[in-house]
Structure 1
Amino acid sequence: GWPIMIDVAKVAIAHALYSFDQLYDYKIPEELLERIRPGMRVIVPFGASNKETEGMVMETVRIQPKGKLKTVKRIIDEKPVLDEQMLDLVKMMKTRYMCTWADAYRCMVPPGTSVKVIRTISLTEKGRMSDENLSDRFQPVIEALKNNNDTLTYNKLRQCVSIDRLSEVLKKMQEEGLVETFDQVQQSAREKTAKVIKKAVTDEKIDELIKGDFFKNIKYIRFLEVLMQVPYISTADAGKTLGISNYMMNRLVDDGLAEYDTVKVTRSPLFDIHVEGDEKKHPNEQQQQAIDGISELFGQNRFHSVLLYGITGSGKTEVYLQLIEKVLNSGRQVIVLVPEISLTPQTVTRFKSRFRRGIAVFHSRLSQGERYDQWMAVLEGEINIVIGARSAVFAPLPRLGMIIIDEEHENSYKSDKTPKYNALEIALYRCKSNDAMLLFGSATPSVNTWYKCETKRMHKHELTMRATEGGMPKVEIADMRMELASGNHSMFARATVEALKETFASGKQAVILLNRRGYSQYVLCTDCGEALMCPSCSLTLKYHKSSHRLICHMCGYTQKMPVDCPECGKKSLTIPGIGTQKAEEELMKLFPDIRILRMDMDTVTQKDSYRKILGDFRAKKADILLGTQMVAKGHDFPDVSLSVILSVDSMLYNEGYNAVEKAFQLILQASGRSGRGEEQGKVILQTFNPDHYAVQYAKNQDYKGFFQYEIDMRKLLEYPPFCNLGYITVESEDDKFAEFIAVRIKSSIDANYMLKGITTVLGPVKAPVERVADQYIWRIIIKSKNLNSLIRLMNGIRLDVETNMKTGKYRLSTDINP
């Protein structure tokens, strides 16, 4: 006879661990054949206990099965939530970011729709009647169930009884008919509905009644006039905004003039922003050139990537807005990514006032319900513009025409949670597969992006004129060596204190920026301003208190803490570090009647507190905004005339090969914060090393000069963009054990994975923050000229470790180009 062909779904299992993460074959039952499609989530029996589990159908095929297959139980999604392109993206992410299938697809399904399966166990009649002489292993289960009305969820039962391999015991008990199990599926986010009221007769009829003095109460007339203009109004709004009581609504319904209904409501986070219409601004010559040039590329309907390089205040947003209009007019859709939470309110307001409808906002502080509604609106085609932080890059727009990434140099586009994706890479992938345009915008582009433009792999348009009259701010350097030498031990230079006095006297505001608290542990000479560096990597050495040694976290070089400065021989070595609280205390002493707002991770925890802090500052409820990096980012404060960076050094000597680049960008951005109104602002940089190239280029606002210097350094030292960096991290509660595993991994790499393009394997070495939440962290760093070799190496090691090093408690994580 012929071999039997059957229809099979290849399913990715939601909670699979890396070691058994693969596509599993399930038979598609007759009744689901017509309905099941790739991109839908399903419930399937999984594992020895056949627990009902969520999975994603990656593809459907007709094959001749090897052995007996389990069957798909049911479908979760009525229509596919991922189209073919998104399924391809899932495949790409699995390889590129070394994650599980489910880690990847969860980024793309509507948030808050993941399914929880709750397994309940109940005693049967036979189990209830059973006597004492059952096996010892069954007895405790029966006891526990009897004490709880014969029924418990699996998790509760596990807490009640201490039995190894509980699921096997239950399986046996089920076979003997003592218990039965039942799986119940729960979904977390739900559609929200509201009760509404709408008119039940024609407008003519209502007019007639109004003219015929049918209504004695003017409120009825006003209410009906509203109902004639809108399809419906929610009963809550009718009560709140129009003052119509329930009694009045009931009366209108009884008289047959109105009727009640329930509608699906979208919890849109946009509604709390009230918007005036925004006039299209007339672009200046440079803006017009950029708009024309980029539109022409867009018109070719194939993939292009473009950098819009514009100094702070040069009007990049206006260019975005006019380009978006062109994309929408061509019938296509746009994703706009903005960094961090702090940019949303302003950005959204500008976009909303220009494009009244069809905008969705995604950011991490939305409630689950809000996110679900936004996502569904996108899937159903009601949305043409999605604005959001990095996760918005996955928005399932079917006719994607352009992705704009504003401030593309920002750290926050790289995810620090699994999967460790980079939104820029995902955007590139999506634009390529949609023949869409990828547009980067920045006043301080990343060295990587600029290098792409220099090597002609990307187009570039420049805006060099500030759109408003203020002109670029004046940058001053306060040499902290001189301050110390003349007896000023405060963290504020005298010039800074003077400038603050002038600012407050003229009724203006100041922004004061310091680096993340408690982070830098570098060693600095307060006499010559040099920090202690690693001789082979040219990176800052980190001081470790416990061993009183300095360590390089790239290659592992280590030395004792010296007494004298190796550069100038003086005994002036210190370990600087300031927290926002300390700075706030000192400011209060200097200016007792000045109002200070602090903005760091301590003060920005609730959903809207950052919006409130920025709003208060804009409304001049404070004179100083003091904070970490968050303060420097794209906010528009018309009354700020002074920005101070308290310790440029803590940024220059931070962790990582790109610390200097990050410091330079931050200085330039912070200087963009002052003088956004009509007059020129001022920026003060406090540093012990005023001759550092980044400080000098930043002072002259010379991005191109900085880029040239930095790219030469990187070429010399072989850092990105001239190589890819792979990090393998081992964490364990036991320091020695973590090191042991790291050493084994290193020798496995040396033996098996010296593939083409892999140039150096450094480490294992302790991570810069060597202990987090009681876990000790060790890492190995790999340099590779060839990205695919590096990905192959990392995936190989990952599987190797998961299968061969099962002993002990440790976590392994991998990351490429973090």
Structure 2
Amino acid sequence: MPLPLADAYDYRAPAGPPPPAGSFVLVPLGTRRAIGVVWDGEADSRLPESRLRAVIEVLDAPPMTATLRRFVDWVAAYTLSPPGAVLRMAMSAPAALEPPAPQAGWRLASAPEGARITPARRRVLDLLADGRPRAGGEIAEAAGVTPAVLRGMAEAGLIAPALLPHRPRFAPPDPARPGPALGPEQQAAADLLREAAGRRAFSTTLLTGVTGSGKTEVYFEAIAETLRSGRQALVLLPEIALSAQWLERFRARFGAAPALWHSELTARTRRDTWRAVAEGQAPVLVGARSALFLPFPDLGLIVVDEEHETAFKQEEGVVYHARDMAVVRARLSEAACVLASATPSLESVTNAATGRYASVHLPARHGGAAMPQVTLVDLRRSPPERGRFLSPPLVAAVGETLARGEQAMLFLNRRGYAPMTLCRACGHRLRCPNCTAWLVEHRAARRLQCHHCGHAEAPPEACPSCGAPHSTVPIGPGVERVLEEASALWPEARRLVMASDTIAGPAAAAAAAAAIRDREVDLLIGTQIVAKGWHFPHLTLVGVVDADLGLAGGDLRAAERTFQLLHQVAGRAGREEHPGRVLLQTFAPEHAVMQALVSGDLDAFMAAEAEARRPGHWPPFGRLAALIVSAEEDRAADRVARDLGLAAPGGEGVEVLGPAPAPLAILRGRHRRRLLLKTRRDIAVQPLLRAWLARVEVPGHVRVQVDVDPVGFL
């Protein structure tokens, strides 16, 4: 059942041949009816026949493939999740399990003697002369008649009702359509990926290359080979809402749009897309991480674009990393998997170095464009004016760029106007009532908001602590505050803010990309969403307002993530004939991340990161698993966390850290404690976790979430 249940239920098979494994069936469950999947394995022989309830109906839907059933079981076992909870992700469009309703139209009938044939009726008869039934709206439009004409013809016996055949929802992409000319290095990479996609065997290839080197065009050739072999292809993007330019490039290469899968689809579109995938009528699908659980009958290729992105990690419900699970699904499907990134994760780099993955690298930008020059602005020596956040060198660079008629970008990975608001009279900081987080001011919307739970409130007229009127002040910059400063410095510049608050979905992202491409924007101000794969041909300057932002907090991957983000955003500059410049404002120009960004030496930076982690068996040279204990009462969370700490596993190569309050000690009203299991790479953590959790009784009002291979530690 698609419910958070650990076991399957036994039912009596309906009359006739028993439904095979994978069949979708309607069954009684308590006082209601539910849809489940006939699963693999034997029935419980201890159950008496009298206790079995009968299957109500076998649904007319393509059965769930054995590959997908094995994938559901594998993900459940790896993440320590109930199989039913994983199955629910594979049944995310229940309406698709009902066959689509037949559509009615009209066909030509035998004309009775003496029927009146007007010019309008003649046009309809000529249209239907080929014998193909058509929908009434299609006939009316093509023949230039009104629905009343069709009704009159039906009454006269000239046309008769007919059921229309179901048309494929998605036009087939054309793999033979010529793509852009590839350079020698791109061609060699494309040949390698084509060969992998055509083998009908499992492989994983890490595709790396500098920003703008044509990685997308290269893996498009693997998609073309997959289509030629009659198999389906899946492309995972970290944020499908920001895929407007990717979709344009796909249409240009293949002459048709792919199927889409993301959270903003309507229920009807989800139903139609799920069914099309299951019936093999969606040759290529591009989607967010949940697309990994769609019912592909013959999946031949999985591409994970921007494979380093933490957006591929699902943190709620079933906690899994889509990049890692993509490799598993490819193995179960005997398919090729391509992991693409200009700044690959250390995990993938290590797997390529040890031979687990094949690898191919594109060292130069396509078309002869040069990589941008990266310069550090030491804020200790060139501080901004009091109350400002843009340093004199950055202000001068933006002004010069705009004067040349080129586009500039100011990057700050922080939404809103200010990350913190405090009282100048007593120092009180405005905090979320549900989380241990500061409220972020969004001045344009006149609200204070928590970015963790969504709580929002109006800015107070007086300090809630000391009562001083109009005493609250914003501390620090967000993109709205940078916009305010930019508006004062360059009032004539046409400005656009790109953040998750202002880019609500695919349509807004497409409109923003078109405005920038068509030079309707002079100055772009954005958060991390501007770093992901955009191609802005006239953008020549990127200014990073706070390059140090991601280095705080002591996260295991802080340096790696900061390098990846800043390298990606720097890669937006100078992607065509005009050279690009990048200015990084920093208080720590000597930091290894800043020096690596200036040198552009990704390999040296990754090697240094690896050497720092190897001695302590930190990932990817060891394994981690987190237990997050949460409860509405702090004492309940403390009690269970303490019991887990006392029952923690031990032994050589095994270490447990904690319990300790989580950095976000209260989230959505629940008190949170964390424990971290760390082991050598050769030790499987799942058996340790199962035995550990079995030793501790957890009350129903306390939750213990398991996060195998955590990427965040909040």
Q: What is the TM-score with the length of structure 2 in the denominator?
A: 0.83
Deviations 1:438-474 (A, max 9, x none): 1111111111111111112211111112112331112
Residues 489 and 230 of structure 1: CA distance in aligned 2, closer, same or farther (over 3 Å): farther
Equivalent position of 1:27 in the other structure? 12
Matches within 5 A, 1:571-650: 577-605=476-504, 608-650=507-549
The CA distance in 1 between the partners of 2:620 and 2:212, in whole Å, is 29
Q: Deviations over 1:385-441 (max 9, x none)?
A: 222121222232222222111111111222122211222222222222232211111
Q: Does 1:246 align with 2:138?
A: no
Tell me the distance in 1 between the aligned counterparts of 2:601 and 2:667.
38
Structure 1 partner of 2:467 = none
Q: Is the 8 A contact 2:247 2:257 kept in 1?
A: no
1:718-757 CA distance string (max 9 Å, x none): 32101111111112222233222211111111xxx22564
Query: Contact conserved, 1:473 with 1:681, CA < 8 A, in 2?
Result: yes
Instruction: Give the Cα–Cα distance (whole angstroms) in 1 for the partners of residues 331 and 418 of structure 2.
Output: 40
Alpha-carbon distance in structure 1 between the residues aligned to 2:494 and 2:246: 27
Number of the residue aligned with 1:457: 356
Q: Distance in 1 between matches of 2:101 and 2:402?
A: 49
Provide the residue aligned with 1:775 in structure 2: 670
Distance in 1 between residues matched to 2:482 and 2:628, nearest whole Å: 35
Alignment of 1:189-204 (within 5 A): 191=100, 195-197=104-106
User: Counterpart in 1 of 2:602?
Assistant: 703
**In 1, Cα distance between the equivalents of 2:363 and 2:557?**
25
Range moving further from structure 2, 769-778 or 57-66: 57-66
**Aligned counterpart, 2:86:** 104
Would you say the 8 A contact 1:386–1:395 is kept in 2? Answer: no
1:761 is paired with a residue whose SS is strand
Q: Write the letter of the residue equivalent to 2:514.
A: G
1:379-528 to 2 correspondences below 5 Å: 379-484=278-383, 489-517=387-415
Task: Name the aligned partner's letter for residue 761 of structure 1.
Answer: V
Of 219, 226, 239, 1:340 maps to 239
Report the CA distance between 1:800 and its aligned residue. Answer: 4.5
- The 3 A distance-change label for structure 1 pair 497 and 283 is same
**C-alpha separation in 2, matches of 1:418 and 1:615:** 36
Q: Specify the alignment match of 2:22 in structure 1.
A: 39
Native 8 Å contact 1:313 1:468 kept in 2: no
Deviation at 1:23, TM superposition (A): 2.3
Q: What's the CA shift for 1:517?
A: 4.0
Contact 1:472-1:672 at 8 Å conserved across structures: yes
CA distance in 2, matches of 1:719, 1:576: 36
Query: 1:667 is paired with a residue of what secondary structure?
Result: helix
Relative to 1, partners in 2 of residues 1:36 and 1:678: Cα closer, same or farther, differing over 3 Å?
Answer: same
Deviation at 1:80, TM superposition (A): 5.1
Secondary structure at the counterpart of residue 64 of structure 2: coil
Q: How do 1:338-377 residues align onto structure 2 when only pairs under 5 Å count? A: 338-356=237-255, 359-377=258-276
Say whether the 8 Å CA contact 2:71–2:332 is kept in structure 1.
Answer: no
Contact 1:307 1:441 in 2 (8 A): yes
Q: C-alpha separation between the residues in 1 aligned to 2:142 and 2:372? A: 47
* Structure 1 residue 74, shift from structure 2 partner: 1.5
SS in structure 1 at match of 2:90: coil
1:794 is aligned to 2:656: no
Q: Secondary structure at the match of 1:716?
A: coil
Amino acid at match of 2:69: L
The equivalent position to 1:15 in structure 2, one of 3, 8, 11, is: 3
SS in structure 1 of the partner of residue 191 of structure 2? helix
Contact 2:621/2:681 (8 A) holds in 1:
no
* Equivalent residues of 1:266, 1:370 under 8 A apart: no
How far is 1:370 from its partner?
A: 0.6
- Structure 1 residues 596, 302: closer, same or farther in 2, change over 3 A? same
For 1:334, what is the secondary structure of its paired residue?
strand
1:87-98 aligned within 5 A:
87-98=69-80
Q: CA separation in 2, counterparts of 1:466 and 1:382?
A: 36
TM-aligned CA distance change 1:793 to 1:639, over 3 Å: same
Q: Contact (CA 8 Å) 1:408, 1:441: kept in 2 or not?
A: yes
Give the Cα separation in 1 of the matches to 2:82 and 2:615. 37
| 3-state DSSP of counterpart to 2:641 | helix
For 2:395 and 2:150, the matched residues in 1 are separated by 64
Secondary structure at the counterpart of residue 82 of structure 1: coil
Tell me by how many angstroms 1:64 deviates: 4.0
Q: Aligned residues: percent identity? A: 29
Report if aligned partners of 1:192, 1:265 keep a CA contact under 8 Å in 2: no
CA displacement 1:509-562 (0-9 Å, x = unmatched): 22222124489999xxxxxxxxxxxxxxxxxxxx9999xxxxxxxxxxxxxxxx
Give the letter for the 2:75 counterpart.
Answer: M
1:675 matched to 2:574:
yes
Are the equivalent residues in 2 in contact too, given 1:337–1:387 (CA < 8 A)?
yes
Amino acid at match of 1:421: Y
Identify which range, 628-637 or 792-801, moves more after superposition.
Answer: 792-801
Partners of 1:734 and 1:775 within 8 A in 2: yes
More displaced 10-residue stretch of structure 1: 99-108 or 764-773: 764-773
Going from structure 1 to structure 2, the CA distance change for 1:330 and 1:740 (only over 3 Å counts) comes to: same
Structure number with the bigger relative contact order (C-alpha 8 A, sep ≥ 6) is 2
Contact persistence 1:409–1:445 (CA under 8 A): yes
Change (3 A) 1:577 1:784: farther
Could you say which residue in structure 2 is the equivalent of 1:58?
Answer: 39
SS of the equivalent of 2:286 reads strand
C-alpha separation in 2, matches of 1:366 and 1:267: 18
Distance 1:729 1:295 in 2: 43
Correspondence for 2:95 among 109, 113, 124: 113
Aligned match of 1:567: none
Residue 78 of structure 1 corresponds to: 60
2:214 counterpart of 1:318: no
User: Structure 1 unaligned runs (5+)?
Assistant: 1-12, 115-186, 203-213, 523-542, 547-574
Query: Structure 1, residues 750-808: CA drift from partner, whole Å, max 9, x if none?
Result: xxx225642x211122222222222222111111124763112323344455xx2326x
Secondary structure, counterpart of 1:58 in structure 2: coil
Cα gap change, 1:328 to 1:735, in 2 (>3 Å)? same
Q: Determine the C-alpha separation between the residues in 1 that align with 2:255 and 2:162.
A: 27
User: What residue number does 2:425 align with?
Assistant: none
Contact 1:334 1:400 in 2 (8 A): yes
Is 1:738 paired with 2:637? yes
In structure 1, the partner of 2:180 is 281
Indicate how the Cα distance of structure 1 residues 698 and 383 shifts in structure 2: closer, same or farther if over 3 A, else same.
Answer: same
Aligned equivalents of 1:420 and 1:300: distance in 2? Answer: 32
SS in 2 for 1:27: coil
Q: CA deviation at 1:105?
A: 0.9
| 1:124 equivalent in structure 2 | none
Which residue identity does 2:10 align to in structure 1?
D
> Does the residue aligned with 1:741 lie in a helix, a strand or coil?
helix
Residues 427 and 220 of structure 1, relative CA distance in 2, 3 Å threshold: farther
Instruction: Give the C-alpha shift of residue 661 in structure 1.
Output: 0.9
Give 1:703 shift: 1.0
Amino acid at match of 1:370: T
**CA 1:388–1:215 in structure 2 vs 1: closer, same or farther (change >3 Å)?**
same
In 2, the alpha carbon distance for the partners of 1:521 and 1:451 equals 36
CA contact (8 A) 1:43 1:72 kept: no
How far apart are the structure 1 equivalents of 2:71 and 2:301? 17
> Whole-Å Cα distance in 1 between the matches of residues 110 and 286 of structure 2?
40
Structure 2 counterpart of 1:105, one-letter code: L
Q: Secondary structure at the match of 1:648?
A: coil
Query: What is the CA distance between 1:651 and its match in structure 2?
Result: 1.5
